[in-house]
Amino acid sequence: MSGKLRLAEGEAARTACARALLRTGVDEETGEVLSQAVLAQRVGWCADLVAGMAAALVGAHWNSVDVGVLAGGVDASGRRLPSNAWMALRRLGWTVAPPGGVRVNDRVVRMVQEQAGRVLRSVKWRAEVTAGVLSTWPADPRKRTPAEWDQVRASIPGGQHLPSNVIKGRTRQAATFAKTNGRLPVDVFELESVPRIPRMLLLAACDRQQATIERSDTDPARALLRLQLPTRPDPRGYRDWTWVECRISLPSTVPASAVLHLPTLRVTDGTVRADMAYTHAVPKARATGHSVALGVDWGLNTLLSAGALRLGKDGRITALGAGGQFRAAGVLAKQHRLRRHSERLHAKADQYARLLGGRPDEQLRAKREVLAGEIRHVSARRQNLNDALAWAAARWTVDQAIAARATVICLEDLRSMETKGLGHSLNTRLSQQVRGKISDRMRHLAAEHGIAVVTAPARNTSKHCPQCLTPLQHRKAPDRPTTPGWKWAICPNQSCRWQEDRDHGAWRRIAARGLTHQTKTVTDKTSGHMVIRTVVDELEAAAVVTPSTSNASRRDRSKTGPTRHKPPRPAPRRRRAPSPTRPHGQAGKRPEGHAPTDRPRLPRAAHRHQSVNTISTPTTAGHRPRGAALGAGFHLHAHASPPRWETIPETQSDTQDRKADQRRYPARNP
């Protein structure tokens, strides 16, 4: 850490991450300037050592007993394990040695233990879910009964609020294993193999003996990173490790007052990328006491619909505007096409694997390798598209909250709801939307402004009227009130008669529910997110939006017959008076029309150069636009009225312009 963060009243510390690029480095021992390729090579050598040692450490403890001890948080003597993974592994005595003949310092072993400890701790949750699914295996794995759903949720810690698609995914995974091996797996460690360890350097586990980072005193947008790197892929001694200085240009998102932490280094496509962690002060978001809330509803082509509501001192809830929509139909369609393309590529790869069947066939093997590269390329495109869409949608939502001065964003919680009954293709498109990424990005951006993000239950948000809570009637369109559909909502209550887009009614219901259930907001212990778990009937009865009073007429303005024909407005006649004389001062009157301002004198309207194209004179018999032929028109393909220069006294400027016209058009100006 390069400093200490000081917080004022009403502020909270927030740790974020920004990406930076390490372009060059300087070897402190030799003074040699390392190019980007050489720097990436040396960082890659160190990352390979760390990844290999971490894989060996994870493989040695990939069992339920060791993972249970680590996740339990208590060592053999009953003492509480440290929060840092590398310290917890050292307390338990889990260590690893480098390959034969390779010499690394103790800080490199710390990075190995930190990475392995994080992997082993993360598998504990998957082990509990898998154990709960296997202990309550249903009679039909494809469809559980309500009683079987209650059993599996009761057998999983925190299963009451666990999304059903997570349980379904684990069930499919175990069913595939049973189909292949003829029996159910024992636990997740038999169901899953040892995970692949990524090539990266967790410098946060090190101290000043391995890496340091300091912000520049003269330029806050720059930082100096010093770390030890090997000079060969298999360092034989400490002399094969040297200090390297890397100057980093910090992104503009890192505040000048932020405290920098040691980054995580990754080697990607021959470049070294640093995940710069920093801590800065932000306004503290509160769970209660909100008067303006932004409601957000999910959709398909219209990805997000959002609007703001205000809670008055008298308890009345009113809408602030008509709301807005984030339409991403084109991006989602492209995402769907890439998904189908990826599925076809995977089907081809599986067919090649079946054709090979363990026999040597260089031609098929080469085709399979080419196909594997194409699969990676399509996967990268899908990931980049999802990231861009998630950031754009989150930025739009937070901007809406800032513009409405909202202090809370009430987000519809769809984790426990399944997409079904809409066909295979549409169900897949709905289930593979990047809602999780959008929610995470939304919380990340909202925390910068002290805006709380609260997830509310989605039950009946699109079913009931936001003004009277009466079940709505859904129709295809507002001009087709008798055609069944789902897009347009109409309230059948004669005293209300509210009707609008279905999504606009949903965000009103979500925001009203969030404002009335503020006291029921809790913080989830697992994720740390603010959630409203249940809906209280007494509070839900008060979650009605009071219609705003308007001075506009409420009479029916529907069209009952053909529109009455109105004669077109005649074009204004040309100016009949001469232009005013040019004043002596700098300020003057408006010029008489479209004329260049760089000319010393302003000529008359019929003779000036207008610098606007008009239609050319027709060569065939018929209509001959006189004004256009004389160059007096104002717009492209405009039929200008004929000039009336006979009523305007001729001046010296007019005479000069007329002589020029005669030289230019001798046949038209006799």
> 388 and 337 share a domain?
yes
**Average pLDDT over all residues of the chain:** 82
- Domain assignment present for residue 231? The answer is yes
pLDDT at 114 over 50: yes
Judge whether 144 lies within some domain: no
> Cα 486 from chain centroid?
27
In a domain, 439, yes or no: yes
- Is residue 149 a part of any domain in this protein? no
Q: Is residue 107 part of a domain?
A: yes
Tally DSSP H helices, then E strands, for the chain: 15, 21
Structure tokens at 77: 């003597």
Q: For residue range 116-145, what is the model confidence (pLDDT) as tens digits?
A: 999 999 999 999 999 999 999 999 988 889
Give the start-end residues of each E strand in 312-352.
317-327
How confident is the model at residue 10, as a pLDDT? Answer: 85
**Top-confidence residue, 119 or 423:** 119
Residue 582's pLDDT is: 56
The dihedrals phi and psi of 312, each to the nearest 5 degrees, come to: -80, 170
My answer on whether 296 and 276 are in the same domain is: no
Q: Is residue 563 part of a domain?
A: no
Q: How far apart are CA 55 and CA 437, in angstroms?
A: 28
3-state secondary structure of 246: strand
Per the structure, the count of domains in the chain is 3
Question: 224 with 302, same domain?
Answer: no
Task: Mark whether 484 and 338 lie in a shared domain.
Answer: yes
Residues contacting residue 497 through CB under 8 Å, at least 6 positions apart: 490, 491
Q: Are residues 305 and 255 in the same domain?
A: no
Per-residue pLDDT at 593 exceeds 80: no
- Is residue 366 located within the same domain as residue 449? yes
Task: Identify the pLDDT of residue 318.
Answer: 93
Whether residues 238 and 121 share a domain: the answer is yes
Q: Assess whether 210 and 131 both reside in one domain.
A: yes
Residue 174 predicted with pLDDT over 90: yes
List, for residues 323-347, the tens digit of each pLDDT value. 899 988 888 888 889 988 999 999 9
CA 275 to chain centre: 18
The domain boundary residue, chosen from 541, 559, 574? 541
With both helix axes pointing from N to C terminus, report the angle between 64-72 and 106-135 in degrees, rounded to the nearest 10: 110
The residue out of 525, 541, 557 marking a domain boundary is 541
pTM for this predicted structure? 0.72
Task: Looking at the structure, tell me whether residues 331 and 196 fall in a common domain.
Answer: no
Q: 118 and 44, same structural domain?
A: yes
**Which position has the higher pLDDT, 476 or 509?**
509
Within a domain: 500: yes
Task: Give the range of the structural domain holding residue 664, as residue numbers without chain letter.
Answer: 592-670
> For 15-39, what is each residue's pLDDT tens digit?
999 999 999 999 999 999 999 999 9
The residues pairing with 453 across neighbouring beta strands, listed in sequence order, are 409
210 and 347 inside one domain: no
Domain C-terminal end among 541, 572, 602: 541
Does 397 share its domain with 516? yes
The least confident of 6-20, 180-194, 263-277, 594-608 is 594-608
Is residue 560 in some structural domain?
no
The pLDDT, as a whole number, for residue 669 is: 43
